Copies of this chain bind each other. A is one copy, B any other.
Amino acid sequence: MRILYSIQETREVVARTRAEGKTIGLVPTMGYFHEGHLSLMRQARLDNDLVVVSLFVNPIQFGRSEDLREYPRDLERDARTAEEVGVDIIFAPSVEEMYPDGYNTYVEVEKLTEGLCGASRPGHFRGVTTVVLKLFNIIQPDRAYFGRKDYQQLKVIQQMVKDLNVPVEIVPMPTVREPDGLAMSSRNEYLSPEERRAALVLSKSLAHAQALLDEGVTSGHELRQRVEEFIRREPLARIEYVAVVDPETLDCLAEVQDEAVLALAVRIGNTRLIDNAVLAR
């Protein structure tokens, strides 16, 4: 496995691969790998001749008051783990390599980015779509892998790829969870033992919502209220949003017809966690 820091060198390596008619899979990450990342890499390994993992903590997707500085980093451990699952290249550019002086171009998906995390993190998705398009242009992968844990991000990237005719297949991958149900996230690292226990309220509230739907609660408004009540019973939890939305448009649903996505963002202490699930009648 090679670790590359320069855009130019990375371009040259993938160009040789492409010239041989081989396929390329990209797993874009911010590093600090957990089983969620590894499941993406394993799938990319199965599907492609060359597997590239980008590792870049993208400053333009963080708000001013967010955790850019504290975001956990461990390139050495990440490199070891990636090599074990068969990754060929880690592309780990510096901020200056990605955003040199005078950088001024942004990609924006409208509408889908307005609600949920887009409302509480203004500019976040603009940062995400911009860096993902840059990575697609540098690596020119055949396929790119994204986890469903960041459900809104997945939909936003799918919309960007469709709208801008980006020649990349987006492969959505299931959320990977700890044995007790907590969705894997690099930010779980921030949790104290007590907060780690309290964080279970996210995944439990998703199961609670499906149980309510099974009992016949189909009003989006009522589902949301009942889930909020459920989360409020956990004293360490502070709700940022709970939403029952259409899986494609992300519009809030008055009534669940066949399927809905329950998406939530909850702070446990100072740590912002998100989770979601498809609810099905």
Q: Which residues of A contact B (CB under 8 A)?
A: 7, 11, 19, 21, 103-112, 129-130, 133-134, 137-138, 140, 159-160, 163-167
Which has the most chain B C-beta neighbours within 10 Å: A11, A105, A110? A105
Contacts of A104 in B (CB 8 A): 109-112, 159, 163
Contacts of A140 in B (CB 8 A): 167
Minimal beta-carbon separation of A125 from chain B (angstroms): 11
Contacts of A19 in B (CB 8 A): 21
In the complex where A105-B108, A108-B106, A108-B108 touch, is A134 in contact with B164 (Cβ < 8 A)?
A: yes
Taking a contact as CB atoms under 8 Å apart, the answer to whether A7 and B165 are in contact is yes
Q: Which residue of B lies closest to A248 (CB)?
A: B102
Q: Which residue of B lies closest to A139 (CB)?
A: B165
What is the count of identical protomers in the complex?
Answer: 2
Taking a contact as CB atoms under 8 Å apart, the answer to whether B165 and A105 are in contact is no
Chain A interface helix/strand/loop/mixed: mixed
Minimal beta-carbon separation of A101 from chain B (angstroms): 11
Q: Which of B11, B106, B110, B164 is A137 in contact with, Cβ under 8 Å? A: B164
Q: How far is the CA of A110 from the CA of B102 in the complex (A)?
A: 10
- Given contacts A107-B108, A134-B164, could you give 17 more A-B pairs where the C-beta distance is less than 8 Å? A19-B21, A104-B109, A104-B111, A104-B112, A104-B159, A104-B163, A105-B107, A105-B108, A105-B110, A105-B129, A105-B160, A105-B163, A105-B164, A106-B107, A137-B166, A138-B165, A140-B167
> Which 6 A-B pairs rank lowest in CB-CB distance, beginning with the nearest?
A105-B163, A137-B165, A104-B110, A138-B165, A105-B109, A104-B111
In the complex where A134-B165, A165-B7 touch, is A107 in contact with B107 (Cβ < 8 A)?
A: yes
Q: How far is the CA of A112 from the CA of B106 in the complex (A)?
A: 13
Q: How far is the CA of A6 from the CA of B137 in the complex (A)?
A: 23
Contacts of A7 in B (CB 8 A): 165
Taking a contact as CB atoms under 8 Å apart, the answer to whether B103 and A163 are in contact is yes
Contacts of A110 in B (CB 8 A): 104-106
17 pairs from A and B in contact (CB 8 Å cutoff): A7-B165, A11-B167, A103-B163, A104-B112, A105-B109, A105-B110, A105-B160, A106-B107, A107-B108, A108-B108, A130-B164, A137-B164, A137-B165, A137-B166, A137-B167, A138-B165, A140-B167
Contacts of A138 in B (CB 8 A): 165
